[in-house]
Amino acid sequence: MSQYAVSKENLIYSFDAHMNPILTVPSGSSLTFHTVDALGGQIKQDADTVDALDFSKVNPATGPVAVEGAEPGGALRIDILDIETDSYGVILAVPGLGVLGNAVQFPGTKVVPVGGDRVFFDSFSLKKQPMIGVIGTAPASGSIACGTPGDHGGNMDTRDIRAGHSLYLPVFQPGGQLAMGDVHAAMGDGEVCGTGVECGAKIHCSVHHIPSFPIRRPLLVTPTEIQIIASAETVEAAAKLAVEDLVEHLVLTHALAFNDAYMLASLAADVRISQLVDPLLTVRACLDRRYLDSGTSI
User: Which residues contact Ca ion (rule: CB under 5 A)?
Assistant: 133, 155, 157, 182
Query: Cβ contacts of residue 48 below 8 Å, gap of 6+?
Result: 42, 109
* Residue among 263 and 276 whose Cβ is closer to Ca ion: 276
Please state the closest distance from residue 129 (CB atom) to Ca ion, in A: 15
Please state the closest distance from residue 282 (CB atom) to Ca ion, in A: 10
* Residue among 67 and 197 whose Cβ is closer to Ca ion: 197
Please state the closest distance from residue 156 (CB atom) to Ca ion, in A: 8
Q: What whole-number distance in Å separates Cα of residue 152 and Cα of residue 133?
A: 13
Please state the closest distance from residue 107 (CB atom) to Ca ion, in A: 18
Is 279 in contact with 55 (CB distance < 8 Å)? yes
Query: Nearest-CA neighbor of 297 among 262, 270, 271, 268?
Result: 268
**How many CB atoms within 10 Å of residue 234?**
11
Q: What whole-number distance in Å separates Cα of residue 298 and Cα of residue 295?
A: 9
User: Pairing mode, if any, of strands 178-184 and 61-67?
Assistant: antiparallel
Helix (H, G, I), strand (E, B) or coil at 238: helix
* Residue among 206 and 227 whose Cβ is closer to Ca ion: 227
* Residue among 158 and 173 whose Cβ is closer to Ca ion: 158
* Residue among 160 and 182 whose Cβ is closer to Ca ion: 182
Q: What whole-number distance in Å separates Cα of residue 136 and Cα of residue 284?
A: 16
**Rg of the chain on CA atoms, in Å:** 19
Query: Nearest-CA neighbor of 282 among 193, 191, 221, 197?
Result: 191
Please state the closest distance from residue 275 (CB atom) to Ca ion, in A: 7
Task: Please tell me the number of Cα atoms within 13 Å of 246 on its side-chain side.
Answer: 31
Helix and strand numbers (H, E) in the chain are 2, 23
* Residue among 62 and 155 whose Cβ is closer to Ca ion: 155
Please state the closest distance from residue 217 (CB atom) to Ca ion, in A: 18
Residue of minimal CB distance from Ca ion? 133
Please state the closest distance from residue 188 (CB atom) to Ca ion, in A: 13
* Residue among 157 and 160 whose Cβ is closer to Ca ion: 157
